Amino acid sequence: MKIAVCVKIIKGDINPFDASALECALRLSDDVTVISMCPPSSKDALLALTRLGAKVILLSDAIYAGSDTLATSHILSSALSKIDYDLIICGRQTVDGDTAQVGPCLSAMLGIPVITNVMEMPVISDKVKCKTRMGEEEASLPCLITVERIAELRFPSIRSKVGEVSIWDNSVVGADKEKCGLSGSPTRVLKVFESEDKMRRCRFIEKEELIPLIKKLSEEKAEKEEIKEAEIKMPKIYAVGKEVLPVAKKLSDNVVEIGKKDAKEIAEYLKAENAEVVLWNADLWGRRTAPIVSAMLRTGLCADCTNLETDGEKLYMYRPAMSGDVYAKIECRTLPQMATVRCETKSADIVVSFGKGAKNSLDEVKILAESLGAEMAASRGLVDTGKAPYEHQVGLTGKKVSPKVYVALGISGAAHHTVGYEGAKYVIAVNNDKDARIFDYADFGVVCDIEEIVGLF
Ligand SMILES: Cc1cc2nc3c(=O)[nH]c(=O)nc-3n(C[C@H](O)[C@H](O)[C@H](O)COP(=O)(O)OP(=O)(O)OC[C@H]3O[C@@H](n4cnc5c(N)ncnc54)[C@H](O)[C@@H]3O)c2cc1C
């Protein structure tokens, strides 16, 4: 079976999700081609991948600079149409752009089915069967799948030889120049600014106060977050999914709701309606379907927006970037202007998250957390030891949770982790190191050994 893997090199390293995609491909086949669109300076990182036995193609041309996800997908799809493949594997998303759009966009451009957020090694027969974050799914070959961080990229043997990286410029790739680079990109970043400080003011408490506090905070009545009404409104907005209706209604008095239908059906409807603005709920379904529709309509899409503004005509979309370190204000120059928007999601009232520091008392603390009705979660530190499943991982390369109370047990508080629980109302951290970073990102803290809290539940 021929497998193509799309890989992005970020600051000299392979994007972690793409590393997982490559490892999956290498386990499934001996015929793996890596395709990467990046500047020539990334060649060394790509050369290392040839030692794993993969053929590597670097797509590099000055006209590709500044490409957004739609332009990138166009370039990658042009290159992929020059090679034979049965299966294309992409990482779920890049950790710098965080859009998760290229996989679904590519599938639409190549006219093949897509399965996103694959959580286990796929099973291949005449079909591809996958366990995804949304359940069991299958598609016939050829198809494209995007994988979560489900496999660690192996180290090449010291005896393995370095191969060659083929460099393809646009005379080989044959992408439409009008659809490449900055000028071919419908979305444009207007400004980038530092994100507000996500630090919390930690109040240290005694360990005996821990359980009553968790119970008290989890029973607090949820206040409804008021979305600010726009002063100037847009004439009409199409909202896909009822979750996004409150946001749409603040921006327009004329909102048309669209149900969660097939991407092609939605694209045809929006085209017939000459829709100018379309908002989607940024849930897993929306983040898979909206990019497919954006490719079908050849329009820009801004992913995972946390705020929207308008001057009555243009939609200004705000979203976190670079793992939440900065915010970007983005506009779309084509119609319809589309955005997936973070909407209120249902989360358990209490999430208890275990880190490497909880590994020795894991079984005891788990049973006790269950008695609180809590959902279980984990840091990558613990997941990497094999003591928690990847489904539980919270953070940049895991999932995001927004419970009323997030309890972090034995977690150091790396930025990669804290970004995953920013939506939590209260955070309580337990750690035996009083200087642990997690306390700067918690509302309450207990300085003690995890073993000491076992008897408290
Ligand atoms: C590209 C990239 C993406 C990443 N994505 C994620 C992600 O999605 N999610 C994620 O979590 N991480 C992610 N990481 C890893 C992250 O940087 C940290 O390495 C990881 O979160 C550390 O896990 P930890 O806090 O459980 O372990 P450690 O850093 O080992 O911390 C353990 C903590 O437990 C405390 N402790 C030890 N023993 C005890 C005890 N007996 N009682 C109480 N406290 C104790 C220690 O003081 C320490 O603070 C990513 C890293 C990279 C490079």
Name the residue ranges covered by the structural domains of the chain: 2-179, 203-222+346-456, 233-341
| pLDDT value of position 337 | 98
| pLDDT value of position 391 | 86
Q: Is the pLDDT of residue 187 over 90?
A: yes
Mean pLDDT estimate for the chain: 93
| Percentage, residues of the chain above pLDDT 70 | 97
| pLDDT value of position 457 | 60
Type of residue found at 172: V
**pLDDT category of residue 194 using cuts at 50, 70 and 90:** confident
Distance 443 CA to ligand 1 centre (A): 19
The separation between CA 95 and the C-alpha centre of its own chain, rounded to angstroms, equals 8
| pLDDT value of position 223 | 66
| pLDDT value of position 345 | 63
Distance, CA of 354 to CA of 278 (rounded, Å): 39
Residue with CA nearest ligand 1 atom 52: 416
Q: Right CATH number for 203-222+346-456 from 2.60.40.10, 3.40.50.1220, 3.40.50.2300, 1.20.210.10?
A: 3.40.50.1220
**pLDDT category of residue 224 using cuts at 50, 70 and 90:** low
Distance, CA of 379 to CA of 395 (rounded, Å): 7
Is 67 in contact with 180 (CB distance < 8 Å)? yes
Residue with CA nearest ligand 1 atom 9: 395
Distance 280 CA to ligand 1 centre (A): 33
Type of residue found at 358: A
Instruction: Residue count of the chain, please give it.
Output: 457
Q: Structurally, what CATH architecture does the domain formed by 233-341 represent? A: 3-Layer(aba) Sandwich (3.40)
Q: Is 356 in the pocket of ligand 1 (CB under 6 A)?
A: yes
Distance, CA of 168 to CA of 162 (rounded, Å): 19
Q: Is 395 in the pocket of ligand 1 (CB under 6 A)?
A: yes
Domains 2-179 and 233-341 alike in fold: yes
Helix (H) or strand (E) holding 104: helix 102-110
Tokens 């005891």 found at: 364
33-84 pLDDT tens trace: 999 999 999 999 999 999 999 999 999 999 999 999 999 999 999 999 999 9
Q: Of residues 342 and 142, which shows the higher confidence score?
A: 142
Domain 2-179 falls in which CATH fold? Rossmann fold (3.40.50)
Which structure tokens are listed for 196?
């507000």
Q: Of residues 143 and 362, which shows the higher confidence score?
A: 143
Average pLDDT over residues 309-324: 88
| pLDDT value of position 342 | 83
Q: Where are the beta strands (DSSP E) in 92-164?
A: 114-118, 123-124, 127-132, 135-140, 143-147
Tokens 């200004």 found at: 316
